[in-house]
Chain A
Amino acid sequence: DGGITQSPKYLFRKEGQNVTLSCEQNLNHDAMYWYRQDPGQGLRLIYYSQIVNDFQKGDIAEGYSVSREKKESFPLTVTSAQKNPTAFYLCASMALSGQTKRNYGYTFGSGTRLTVV
Chain B
Amino acid sequence: AQKVTQAQTEISVVEKEDVTLDCVYETRDTTYYLFWYKQPPSGELVFLIRRNSFDEQNEISGRYSWNFQKSTSSFNFTITASQVVDSAVYFCALSEYGNKLVFGAGTILRVKS
Contacts and interface: CB of A to CB of B under 8 A. Distances in A.
Partners in one complex: yes
Contact of B43 (A31, A44, A96, A111): A111
Given A41-B105, A42-B106, A58 B100 contact: yes
B103 interface: yes
Nearest to A90: B45
Interface of A is mostly: strand
Given A35-B103, A44-B103, A90-B43, 12 more contacts: A40-B106, A41-B105, A41-B106, A42-B104, A42-B105, A48-B100, A103-B50, A105-B35, A105-B47, A108-B37, A108-B44, A110-B42
B16 to A, nearest CB: 28
Smallest CB-CB A-B distances: 10 pairs = A42-B103, A108-B45, A43-B103, A42-B105, A111-B43, A103-B33, A110-B44, A105-B50, A42-B106, A103-B95
Tier of interface size on chain A? 20 to 34
